[in-house]
Structure 1
């Protein structure tokens, strides 16, 4: 199968690298020609643009920073879509927008899968990231070998739109974790606690989280480099807030988080690294939240392993369907 890949940024570049590393026939495209040039020596083929990419490939993956960017690419590819083609959306996007674009693809006989990833850029780099897949079951099974190369744990979430909603939810939770970790670290520093000891206390306790065990490390190092920026966090938690508003859920914490990110962007710029939201508290207290011995960036120390489908526990619909087979 020939795979096209659009978007070679922090996440997309690592995912495309996993396909190349595992022997896939990959053609790449990005608005930054320097990124494309980096992939050609690794075995990727360049292309003239999205339309040519869809013409030449069986499936095209998009991994882009905004719904608008994805829409522009998909609309350019549409004339080349037919019943043999699949569009795979790996961006974090709006469920309504991915449904709209999927309908346009379906009108031309093509199939769509939304398959956003979760677990950090360092795991995207090793093929150990998690993937949510929203699509019909036939498309899921057709593309499962590709998904289990890109990621380790693959969850079929249901119809188009379901994966985007769940992905936005997980990013909302990750942001809440980040903000509370920042408050905890600054408060412990102000109380005179040793930062290395504080980190370990959080890690071995009920207060730990994936975010603490990754982002707290680069915060304490001082690099704050998690390959994710404040504008992307604001987009994701804004999408979650919109879902709640659309369903009349009167959230209380979410609006506070949106306000905190807006303030951070106003102070430090939208392309500031997201863990540097802690600077708001560092500046307010005059404290520097760093400690020796922590890495400047995260690397995945787990070996790359074949991926697999995750089946929801309990007698949920997906599991019940499998039991009936």
Structure 2
């Protein structure tokens, strides 16, 4: 496969997907686009992407198909069935699901794809809206090693920390480990900011000290400043983080693992969602602590 010659079909132009697709266009890849709401793809279409009226039409005319949608049910909807990706892609197509989804679903897609001569990979990402815009995402990949090596140039456009994790489902398991880490960390970040305020400190000055030390994390360096500025615009939606945590909790239970930090974070984010913050960024968690 020669870089930039492959036609990429892209499904899902949300907060992250739109920037990821734009980066592929800038790198010279011809792009086919389908999304449930055409207006979300307006900028990409103006830059030369070709609109496809259905998942099936996109699948038939693409060499590589990248999906990044909301929930596992959305993944099932676009991959399976007579109008889905797997029934309409030609043999030799590479399909890459970058949605955070269930490891078991990634395996199911892989097995069905394999039976049709299609190469399937699960490659969820971390890095939020900033990482998507900058092409600096962490990409966690499951599937066949030879397929990973063949499409690495595409991953290199989208991210910087790209790691092959193993067989189908391994990328999703890795992303769930990532979300489990963030879940407890977000509580700590909120508590730290509130502690700094209660102690009469300038939280921005406090961040200068603690982001560079052992407490350093993406949440602390990128999301804590947004919390301080009352900026709750979504780099990653509360509703999608809740979805991820539910999948992680379910997977942990299947593995016989207890995750109290994850359980607490899910409970708090559930409370936040009930207050109408589903479409806010995950940094809106600070609102519970300010109350």
Residue in structure 1 matched with residue 64 of structure 2 by the alignment: 59
CA distance in 1: counterparts of 2:278 and 2:46, whole angstroms: 33
TM-score (norm 1): 0.84
Kindly tell me the number of residue pairs found equivalent between the two proteins: 283
The structure 1 segments of at least 4 consecutive aligned residues displaced by more than 4 Å after TM superposition are none
CA distance in 2: counterparts of 1:152 and 1:143, whole angstroms: 14
Counterpart among 192, 196, 202 of residue 184 in structure 1: 192
Residue in structure 2 matched with residue 69 of structure 1 by the alignment: 74
- Tell me by how many angstroms 1:224 deviates: 2.4
Residue in structure 1 matched with residue 107 of structure 2 by the alignment: 99
Counterpart among 98, 109, 112 of residue 120 in structure 2: 112
- Tell me by how many angstroms 1:78 deviates: 2.3
Residue in structure 2 matched with residue 258 of structure 1 by the alignment: 266
- Tell me by how many angstroms 1:226 deviates: 4.3
- Tell me by how many angstroms 1:201 deviates: 2.4
CA distance in 2: counterparts of 1:70 and 1:214, whole angstroms: 29
Task: Assess, with a 3 A threshold, how the Cα gap between structure 1 residues 269 and 218 changes in structure 2: closer, same or farther.
Answer: closer
Residue in structure 1 matched with residue 93 of structure 2 by the alignment: 85
- Tell me by how many angstroms 1:81 deviates: 2.6
Contact 1:130/1:154 (<8 A) preserved: yes
* Structure 2, gaps ≥5 residues long: 1-5
Contact 2:95/2:120 (<8 A) preserved: yes
Contact 1:81/1:109 (<8 A) preserved: no
Task: Name the larger-Rg structure.
Answer: 1
* CA RMSD of superposed structures (Å): 1.3
* Structure 1, gaps ≥5 residues long: 284-325
Counterpart among 32, 36, 43 of residue 41 in structure 2: 36
Q: Encode CA deviations 1:198-256: one digit per residue, 9 max, x unaligned.
A: 22222232222121000001111111234212111111111111121001112222211
Q: Encode CA deviations 1:46-85: one digit per residue, 9 max, x unaligned.
A: 1111101110011111000111111111121222233221
Contact 2:232/2:280 (<8 A) preserved: no
- Tell me by how many angstroms 1:148 deviates: 1.0
